[in-house]
Amino acid sequence: MFLSTNDIGGAGIACLNGVERLRNSGLDATLVVCNKYSDSEACIGVFDAHSAWGRLWILLNHLYCKMRKMLAFGKADPKYIMFDMQISMVSAKKILRLYGKRPDIIRLGWVTDFVSAKTVKELQTLTGATINYSMVDNAPIGGGCHYPWDCQGYTKDCFPCPALSASNKRAQKTLFFKHQYITPDMVISGTTNDINRAGRSLLFKDAKKVVSYALRPNPYHFTKVEGRTFFNIPDDRYVILCGASSITAERKGFKELIESLELLKQQTDINRITILVAGGGCGDFPTGYDVRMLGKLSLEDLFRAYACADLFLCPSLEDSGPMMINYGIMAYIPVVAFEMGIALDVIRHKENGYIAKWRDVKDFANGILYCLENQERLCSEIMQLNNDIMEESKKHSIMKSLGIEMS
């Protein structure tokens, strides 16, 4: 049984796709969500958006959670993305009634505003199931934030919390609340970067920690000619792709990207470079670049953009992924990223991309320049190398670590 707050959005879709892959392998898997939006038979919802009553309950619950958060935290620094982690919208017994079976494994994705650590422990007590927390962001290890940045509060007591006023102890109280219910027999999984954090955390330092990440072939396959024709880009351009679902967010690092591109101008001729930006407004790019703002793309058009690109840039500073790095790797183009998220697991420094020192804009610019100057060598080796990395990722399957063999 998988648990997720929603079956939409990046985390929800990833969870639903995981369940459907298990089903296609002949395994009995079901996703139980708080709010169901999809039509998938692999998913059961506590509240179903397909009915008027369901939509009303989802709205009321959203308002309730928002009010709880405001009362708990007051005015919080938005970059930490604070949630009230003590909320549980449904009991363990109701989840099991909806599921209708006794699960052997309960895997948690993004469960904020759905179930608390207390409810998860009750599920374990009622079923004897193995509990697997997934590091979807860093919510499992802290007292309310989804991203700790350079705060180390999650390693001890979450006080004082940099996201809250100096006297607000809610993060500390939440951390200690969770500490009662997260036990060493639970498993936590995620990328190397996230698991390193989990290993330092108060909550999971004694738990079983599993490095887990996945690479799969992209769902659409377009040639470079098809991609460049679609976006009307001449063959002689060097095309850089960047983007994110929320590129105005500080954690997505577009401020640092823009600073890096300004430095790059001083080191090389940029006249032949075209930059494609997938997503909404993200600040002013340096003058001199040919920048194409693509806006929000359909998934199919996003892969057309990957097909026509020579390089993908991921300036994210706080991220468990992002999935766009996976797409870039399996589009067989070099990827430049800061040392965070899945970058540490799938980028081989100076072989299929470049890992820049965290938030170091000069090193990020050096990474772009390195890929520009070594384009021919990188392109000649990248397909075999990235296929090998994809095969290696199968050894890091969380399902395999939990004793489930997939065909």
Amino acid at 210: V
Q: How confident is the model at residue 218 (pLDDT cuts 50, 70, 90)?
A: very high
Domain boundaries, the chain: 2-212, 224-387
pLDDT of residue 245: 81
User: What tokens appear for 45 in the block?
Assistant: 């919802």
pLDDT of residue 406: 58
| Cross-sheet strand order for the sheet of 187-190 | 43-48, 31-36, 2-6, 105-108, 130-134, 187-190, 208-211
Amino acid at 83: F
pLDDT of residue 396: 82
Write the pLDDT tens digit of every residue in 225-276: 999 999 999 999 999 999 988 888 899 999 999 999 999 999 999 999 999 9
Q: Are 103 and 129 in contact (CB under 8 A)?
A: yes
Q: Are 177 and 144 in contact (CB under 8 A)?
A: no
- Alpha carbons 172 and 158: distance in angstroms, whole number: 5
Amino acid at 324: M
Cα–Cα nearest to 11, from 30, 40, 28, 31: 31
**Helix (H), strand (E) at residue 225:** helix 224-231
CATH superfamily of 224-387: Glycogen Phosphorylase B; (3.40.50.2000)
Write the pLDDT tens digit of every residue in 87-119: 999 999 999 999 999 999 999 999 999 999 999
